[in-house]
Structure 1
Amino acid sequence: MNSTDLSVLKSAVEWLQSGQSVAIATVVQTWGSAPRPVGSWLAIRADGQVAGSVSGGCVEDDLIRRVQTEILTRNTPEMVVYGVTQQEAARFGLPCGGTLRLLVEPKPELAVLEQLLENISSHQITRRSVSLSTGKSTLTLGNRSDEFVCTEQEMQTTYGPRWRMVIIGAGQLSLYTADFALASDFEVIVIDPREEYAEGLNRTDITFSKGMPDDVLLEIGVDSHTAVVALTHDPKLDDMALMEALKSPAFYVGALGSRKNTQKRKERLLEFDVSEEQVEKLHGPVGLYIGALTPPEIAVSILAEVIAVKHGISVPKKV
């Protein structure tokens, strides 16, 4: 589960705090064209109220019934499988014979979920381990590279913003881009040493740094789960940041500017300690071409391109 499931976690915590019985279902394995990915979360209340989804609506009705009549009466997690046969897949609306394996926890621990909610709200990456034999869970420090694990003994899931976007510049376009990035489950860091922009940035959901962009990138340690987007239109700031970003494992590096300016920027970067192969990693002009004109539209195009690259979708070259 990523932090986009924050609303599901909040609902589960609120329901448990009010004394209601709640079960939590997690997608632990899929085959074929199952409609929801591993780690997807669903909270089910004893009266049938739900938050979240594990199948996009295909199996939820049957799962709610099973939770109400069977699972909530138990003390330990239960593995539930849908779509084992073509007939079952058709019955539950799973596309192309898809199969869904769910771990349902009938007695999630309120104290653990409250701590998890606090950690996610403060952008901490947290790993939750659940014992399948007892239902007890523990929280430990997570890592961006953690993988989902489910064995016969334990389920381990990492929660929180495992993807990060670093935005160079704190102008209007940057803030729109930050908003869309936050909505897409990115942790957002904005870097801008210019006082005139720093004064207007008072956001608790964004980490802001007044340092020089290249220095800050080195300090935070850019990894393969990080996207770097340079949006100041000031070569003194953008180019220095891009020099470090292009040499890093960042999965995406983009910069604002026309095709002509992008070509000039690449030529400048080649004069420094940046190889031709590294320079070719630069996405510029930043964003997919969708005819965007306004800052919000450009921000949408930027996030669209970042998400495409994140999921391994090829994007057309622009220069």
Structure 2
Amino acid sequence: MKMTRSREILVTLLQLVFSACTVVLLFSFVLNLTATSQNYYGAHFPITTLSAECDAQLTQKFEKLSDESGFPVRVFEMVKTDMPTAQAATNAIASAEAGEDGSLYSENLVDYFYHLCEDYAKGNHLDYRQSELKVTAKKAARIFSETVGVTGLYDAQQKSAALHRSVTLSQFLSFAMMALSGVSIVILFTRKRLGYYRVLAALFGGALGALFASLGLYVIKPVQSLKIEPAVYTACFSEIADKCFSIVAMLSFAITAASLIAMIQIERHYQKSKDKVNIV
């Protein structure tokens, strides 16, 4: 029995709704478990990559300060031993997330570098002025702050919180709409097998759309638009986002393949049934 034109249009519209909701559900499900989860950030934040990059930048900047001040680079780099970069960066992120100053700059840090310079000067019997040491210490503290400390994380946090609220709601609504549209499609067919086929076709289209969307976001890297300083932090958060998009892509690919296989099986079964009827 052939479907009427109006019913065919209705089925097509329901398929489009199902496909669109599939895209939303896949992204909201993965983002809810990753990008908006504090536990995920704690477990997957590339702190090793961050600390290595910060250490390299500190060395370069301390070399310039060494040329200006006359103090050897090793004097300033003692901070890497006394305040390991990985731990300092972790503390900076924790402070920023708590709404506190994540820049790490403080008078205590200035005093720390001051005493390093003073101890070196005294140990090597160098003439020095306290005012000059103070200026050098402030420059060293500023370098450490601008390289390892983090600013601009509040804006990222606000966007993450808003994203968490939206994906939670989207996850619920998209699932409900998928269930409603899927059941409606099956009901509209007298031969339920054809209804299941159309639902699988909609699932295939939605998963394929999510796959291309995730690959596009992986290339575009939207997280890099966040104004987090220094830039190495933005790169780290972007790396986490790339992992999220990769998960969406892999999940979408799996669903695309599974739905395609199921569609082929239904098509073969339908064709066999049709052949039997023709023989009879």
Normalised-by-shorter TM-score class: under 0.3
More strand by share: 1
Per chain length, whose mean CA-contact separation is higher, i.e. which structure has more relative contact order (CA < 8 Å, sep 6+)? 2
More helix by share: 2
Which is higher, the Rg of structure 1 or of structure 2? 2
